[in-house]
Amino acid sequence: MAVSRINRARAILDDKGYGESLHQAIKEVLDYHKWFKFILYYQKEGERKKELTNHVFYTFSGGEKAMDMYIPLFSAVYSHSMQARKDAPRIITLDEAFTGVDENNIRDMFALVEDFIINSQALWGDYDTVPELSIAELIRPKNVNYVSVIHYYWDGKVRHLNIPFEIEETMVQYGINVQGGWFFFIAL
């Protein structure tokens, strides 16, 4: 996609024959603000559908605002990611994801983001709308130079501690409770 846009920038520059540098032409065609235009609509119960303007948006509650941002965002990300290979990772990074959104709406949001890698400091993602999920909890105790990783697996109903067989076997051999979690350390 980027190569075709750069070629388009060269063609625009060649057509004009003057003025802009290639750098400016590339900057112009790679400005993602110009790639797509979204017009969002909303509809409250018993009302007709209306365009979601900034004025209306700022009258909504925190949860309503969040939902009105996340649904189009996730829909656009999903739509765009469909152009990628099936095995390509789909990564969403949100700071303070779903802040101000109630549990039921968070549950519904997780139904929209299937097959994505998501990070969060507070959410586990283990909702009934998620059929399965691998979870890695990163733990860094205060003032240490390592990070512990605890792995879990959500099967759509229950979150399980995920201990590799070799480690579990060794732990059992030494009489260590295998329900306690497993760790590996990354030196910083």
Tell me the two tokens of residue 177: 């409770």
Q: Is 183's pLDDT higher than 50?
A: no
- Angle between helical axes of 103-112 and 62-81 (0-180°, round to 10): 10
Cβ within 8 Å of residue 142, ≥6 positions away: none
What is the C-alpha to C-alpha distance for residues 121 and 152, in angstroms, rounded to an integer?
Answer: 15
Q: Is 1's pLDDT higher than 80?
A: no
What is the C-alpha to C-alpha distance for residues 13 and 142, in angstroms, rounded to an integer?
Answer: 55
Tell me the two tokens of residue 121: 């400091």
Cβ within 8 Å of residue 99, ≥6 positions away: 62, 66
pLDDT confidence band for 180 (50 / 70 / 90):
very low
Q: Is 19's pLDDT higher than 70?
A: no
Mean pLDDT over each residue of the chain, to the nearest integer: 76
Percent of the chain scoring above 70 in pLDDT: 80
Q: Is 170's pLDDT higher than 70?
A: no
Tell me the two tokens of residue 47: 């009302």
Instruction: Tell which residue, 145, 138, 92, has the closest CA to residue 117.
Output: 92
Degrees to nearest 5, angle at CA 144 with 185 and 177: 50
Q: Is 177's pLDDT higher than 60?
A: no
Q: Is 134's pLDDT higher than 80?
A: yes
Tell me the pTM. 0.58
Using the Cα atoms of residue 90, residue 96, residue 101 and residue 102 in order, give the sign of their dihedral: positive
- The helix/strand/coil state of 21 is coil
49 versus 7: the higher-pLDDT residue is 49
